[in-house]
């Protein structure tokens, strides 16, 4: 069995456990920032167990199929990434997973889920250019789109050459993690005016599948953050873990400090950040090269 298959299998088996623990730590840190005790770290797993025991009110069979498609493509995305696959194919699979999720919301024929799906489409318009710039930035630095080649490209981590691209990626992570100020299409908090946005009509084990998919997706996204710090040396893995921890803490801090904004502001601000940090960094790489 090749090492790539082992890494992919480890992601499939361990990512939901790591994602659930990360969600629990997130809740604990958020509660402490707000002066509360907060739930136990294992609370996300208790919630998931209760969701699996509840009766699912099925809106239509198409919605269930689309939610399953969302989960499958998110798992495929992470497995392909951690097995050292092509970064462009990885990001394409992630976008396809998002499309399945959006279609599941539209299929519910609910004004809340439809509004959430519309906002999710706007968010995709906002962050997809930055995702593409991340892949191009890695290619300019290493000469390859292969995750395996990027990790072993040299002794200098990619973030040294791509600080602007890294900043732009941090910006869009707030969208992907569904945190303020960009928790527009669905939210883990109770302050949304759309109830739960895209997941309003989901319940029971189907809603549990969405939560598991988000846990998989969060671990994959942190894996992309870690890729900026990897050099192939054994100690670079430790540096990558520290970088991921600091990044996620920064996202939690932003979630508790900044209020949610309108979609128009999110779209304009994200494109400005992409142009200033991502595009300028890419042009500098081209000029240096």
Q: Hey, what long-range contacts does 237-246 have (CB within 8 A, 24 or more apart)?
A: 239/157, 243/159
Q: At what angle do helices 234-257 and 204-227 cross, to 10 degrees?
A: 120
- Looking at residue 190, its pLDDT comes to 52
- Looking at residue 82, its pLDDT comes to 97
| Other Cβ atoms within 10 Å of 16 Cβ, number | 20
Q: At what angle do helices 43-53 and 204-227 cross, to 10 degrees?
A: 150
Tell me which residue range forms the domain holding 205: 3-288
- Looking at residue 145, its pLDDT comes to 95
DSSP state of 185: S
Per-residue burial over 74-94, b = 16 or more CB atoms within 10 Å of its CB, e = otherwise: bbbbbbbbbbbbbbeebbbbb
pLDDT tens per residue across all 289 residues of the chain: 588 899 999 999 999 999 999 999 999 999 999 889 889 999 999 999 998 888 767 777 888 899 999 999 999 999 999 999 999 999 999 999 999 999 999 988 888 888 889 999 999 999 999 999 999 999 999 999 999 999 988 789 999 999 999 999 999 999 999 998 888 888 666 555 556 778 888 888 888 999 999 999 999 999 999 999 999 888 999 999 999 999 999 999 999 998 888 889 999 999 999 999 999 999 988 887 6
Q: Which residues contact 114 (CB under 8 A, 6 or more apart)?
A: 105, 106, 108
As a whole number of angstroms, the distance between CA 78 and CA 93 comes to: 9
As a whole number of angstroms, the distance between CA 229 and CA 268 comes to: 29
Q: Which residues contact 87 (CB under 8 A, 6 or more apart)?
A: 81, 134, 135, 138, 139, 145, 146, 147, 150
- Looking at residue 191, its pLDDT comes to 54
> Side-chain half-sphere of 39: how many Cα atoms within 13 Å?
13
Distance of CA 265 to the CA centre of its chain: 21
CB 150 within 8 A of CB 138: yes
CB 24 within 8 A of CB 46: no
As a whole number of angstroms, the distance between CA 107 and CA 12 comes to: 28
Nearest to 201 by CA among 97, 107, 120, 123: 107
End-to-end CA distance of the chain: 38
Tens digit of each residue's pLDDT (9 = 90 or more) over 154-168 = 789 999 999 999 999
Nearest to 212 by CA among 11, 8, 15: 15
Structure tokens that stand for 264 in this block: 């128009």
As a whole number of angstroms, the distance between CA 215 and CA 101 comes to: 15
Number of structural domains in the chain: 1
């Amino acid at each position: 069995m090749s090492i790539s298959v082992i890494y992919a299998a480890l992601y499939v088996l361990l990512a939901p456990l790591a994602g659930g623990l990360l969600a629990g730590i997130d809740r604990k840190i958020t509660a402490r920032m707000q002066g509360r005790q907060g739930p136990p770290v294992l609370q996300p797993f208790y919630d998931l167990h209760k969701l699996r025991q509840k009766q699912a009110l099925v809106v239509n069979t198409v919605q269930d199929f689309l939610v399953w498609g969302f989960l499958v493509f998110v798992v495929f995305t992470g497995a392909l990434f951690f097995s050292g696959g092509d970064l462009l194919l990885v990001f394409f699979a992630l976008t396809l997973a998002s499309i399945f999720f959006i279609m599941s919301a539209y299929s519910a024929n609910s004004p809340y889920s439809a509004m959430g799906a519309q906002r999710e489409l706007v968010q995709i318009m906002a962050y997809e250019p930055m995702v593409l710039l991340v892949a191009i930035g890695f290619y300019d630095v290493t000469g390859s789109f292969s995750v395996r080649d990027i990790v072993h490209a040299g002794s200098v981590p990619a973030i040294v050459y791509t600080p602007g691209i890294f900043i732009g990626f941090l910006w869009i992570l707030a969208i992907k993690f569904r945190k303020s100020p960009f928790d527009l299409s669905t939210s883990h908090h109770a302050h949304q005016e759309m109830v739960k946005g895209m997941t309003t009509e989901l319940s029971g084990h189907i809603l549990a599948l969405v939560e598991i998919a988000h846990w998989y997706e969060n671990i994959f996204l942190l894996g992309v953050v870690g890729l900026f710090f990897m050099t192939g040396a054994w100690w670079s893995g430790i540096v990558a873990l520290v970088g991921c921890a600091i990044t996620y803490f920064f996202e939690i801090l932003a979630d508790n400090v900044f209020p949610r904004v309108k979609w128009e502001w999110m779209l304009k601000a994200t494109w400005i950040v992409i142009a200033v940090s991502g595009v300028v960094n890419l042009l500098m790489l081209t000029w240096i090269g």
